[in-house]
């Protein structure tokens, strides 16, 4: 089924129409997905495909590694969390066209920003095959489209009634988020722009590369992959819940592998501030498989970071359980033992911004 989104003037108000019912004043000039006036942010691995553009957050050879070694699910890794399309236009009406290659049942949404502020949210059913985002210029025409966090989409280009102008290079700090579903965006209804790494990146005025993957564990190969970044200004690591509950790791084994991840990061980014966040508050603190606890994993990470920080002044431990609580978890899914709701994600972004900037 093909869906067209036609939006009213207020954010979040929308109606859904069949594609055949198109406004007579729809933009007429097509702009290809690969036009240099459209900047792709949040990934180094965008790939042209026929007339479209596909996005990948991780290098393909890394995703082809054996899953046990990789530590993440390569299919979930292909979702677009953190990726943004940026462009500037004097067009009064704009249409952005996408093909939905796959989408998660947890909900999916695009976020439209104009002049740095959220202007619209475009929600779609995961069974939808195409999405046409129609919107109007209200300000200077500096637009950003944040891709869904739990969908894999192909960008098919724009339709405009004016000219496209490539936005000035942001020259922004670079922020890389490593982790599992908490950072990928579970609990925020499939919208990149409500995940805590995205919210934190906006506070830092940084370009986000969200490499976190739902179900992920400590991943040394992703640490090695950071060789593709010439410069990184901030790194956060929030991982351990799946290592505790689904990988039968001991606290010592977790710390050992985590140390290997830090070694991989430091091989290419020796001076980047790295914030190692211990397990957040959880309703499920004990592994049914091993009997090990979240507190044991937290202690193991604290000791590891404390020891290494004696010779690495840019390595920081953040006690995740002290900045989160049960009230930060999903209110609309009380059986979920660990994932943040939208308010909890915003709170975590605020807390980490305070820690990173010492404000």
> How is residue 109 written in tokens?
């949404």
Query: CATH 3.40.50.1110 spans which residues of the chain?
Result: 174-357
Tally DSSP H helices, then E strands, for the chain: 10, 19
Instruction: Identify whether the C-beta of residue 175 lies closer than 8 Å to the C-beta of residue 209.
Output: yes
pLDDT at residue number 220: 99
Instruction: Identify whether the C-beta of residue 321 lies closer than 8 Å to the C-beta of residue 280.
Output: yes
Instruction: Identify whether the C-beta of residue 353 lies closer than 8 Å to the C-beta of residue 200.
Output: yes
pLDDT at residue number 171: 85
Q: For residue 191, what is the DSSP state?
A: B
Q: Helices marked H in 269-321 — which ranges?
A: 294-309
* DSSP annotation string for 159-185: EESS-EEPPPP----EEEEEESHHHHT
Helix (H) or strand (E) holding 310, with range, is none
3-state secondary structure of 274: strand
Predicted TM-score (pTM) above 0.95:
no
Q: Which residues of the chain have pLDDT under 70?
A: 1-27, 167, 169-170, 359
Query: N- to C-terminal Cα distance for the chain?
Result: 49
What is the topology classification, in CATH, of domain 174-357?
A: Rossmann fold (3.40.50)
Tell me whether residue 105 is exposed, middle or buried, using C-beta atoms within 10 angstroms of its C-beta: 0 to 12, 13 to 18, 19 or more: exposed
Q: 219 vs 66, 256, 290, CA distance in Å?
A: 12, 12, 21
Q: How far apart are CA 70 and CA 103, in angstroms?
A: 22
3-state secondary structure of 259: helix
CATH tag for 2-165 (out of 1.20.120.10, 2.60.120.260, 3.40.50.970, 2.40.50.140): 2.60.120.260
pLDDT at residue number 105: 72
Q: How far apart are CA 44 and CA 56, in angstroms?
A: 8
Which residues contact residue 156 at a Cβ distance below 8 angstroms, ignoring those fewer than 6 apart?
33, 51, 52, 97, 98, 99
Q: Helices marked H in 166-325 — which ranges?
A: 181-184, 196-204, 220-225, 241-246, 251-268, 294-309
pLDDT at residue number 25: 52
User: What is the C-alpha R_g of the chain?
Assistant: 21
pLDDT at residue number 58: 99
Helix H, strand E, coil C: the string for 5-58 is EEECCCCCCEEEEECCCCCCCCCCEEECCCCCCCEEECCCCCEEECCEEECCCC
pLDDT at residue number 166: 72
Query: CATH 2.60.120.260 spans which residues of the chain?
Result: 2-165
Helix H, strand E, coil C: the string for 96-130 is EEEEEEEECCCCEEEEEEECCEEEEEEEECCCCCE
Instruction: Identify whether the C-beta of residue 151 lies closer than 8 Å to the C-beta of residue 189.
Output: no
**Residue 206 CA neighbour count, 13 Å, CB half:** 23
């Amino acid at each position: 089924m093909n869906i067209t989104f036609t939006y009213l003037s207020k954010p979040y108000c929308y109606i859904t129409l069949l594609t055949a019912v198109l406004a007579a004043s729809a933009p007429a000039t097509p702009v290809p997905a690969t036009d240099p006036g459209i900047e792709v942010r949040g990934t180094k691995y965008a790939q042209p495909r026929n007339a479209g553009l596909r996005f990948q957050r991780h290098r393909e050879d890394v995703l082809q590694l054996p899953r046990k070694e990789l530590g993440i699910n390569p299919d979930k890794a292909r979702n677009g969390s953190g990726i943004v399309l940026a462009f500037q236009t004097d067009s009064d009406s704009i249409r952005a066209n996408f093909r939905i290659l796959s989408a998660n049942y947890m909900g999916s949404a695009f976020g439209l920003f104009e002049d740095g502020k959220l202007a619209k949210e475009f929600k779609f059913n995961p069974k939808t095959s195409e999405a046409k985002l129609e919107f109007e210029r209200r300000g200077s025409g500096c637009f950003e489209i944040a891709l869904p966090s739990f969908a894999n989409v192909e960008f098919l280009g724009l339709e405009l009634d004016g000219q496209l102008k490539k936005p000035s290079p942001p020259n922004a700090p670079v922020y890389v988020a490593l982790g599992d579903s908490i950072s990928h965006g579970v609990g925020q209804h499939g919208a990149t722009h409500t995940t805590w790494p995205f919210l934190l990146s906006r506070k830092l005025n940084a370009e986000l590369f969200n490499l976190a993957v739902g179900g992920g564990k400590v991943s040394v190969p992703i640490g090695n992959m950071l060789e593709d970044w010439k410069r990184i200004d901030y790194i956060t690591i929030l991982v351990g819940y799946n290592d505790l509950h689904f990988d039968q790791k001991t606290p010592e084994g977790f710390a050992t592998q985590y140390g290997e991840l830090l070694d991989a990061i430091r091989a290419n980014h020796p001076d980047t501030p790295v914030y190692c966040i211990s397990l957040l508050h959880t309703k499920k603190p004990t592994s049914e498989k091993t009997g090990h606890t979240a507190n044991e994993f937290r202690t193991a990470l604290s000791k590891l970071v404390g020891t290494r920080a004696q010779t690495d002044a840019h390595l920081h431990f953040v006690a995740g359980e002290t900045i989160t609580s049960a009230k930060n978890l999903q209110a609309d899914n009380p059986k979920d033992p660990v994932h943040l709701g939208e308010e909890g994600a915003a709170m975590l972004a605020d807390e980490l911004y305070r820690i990173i900037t010492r404000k």
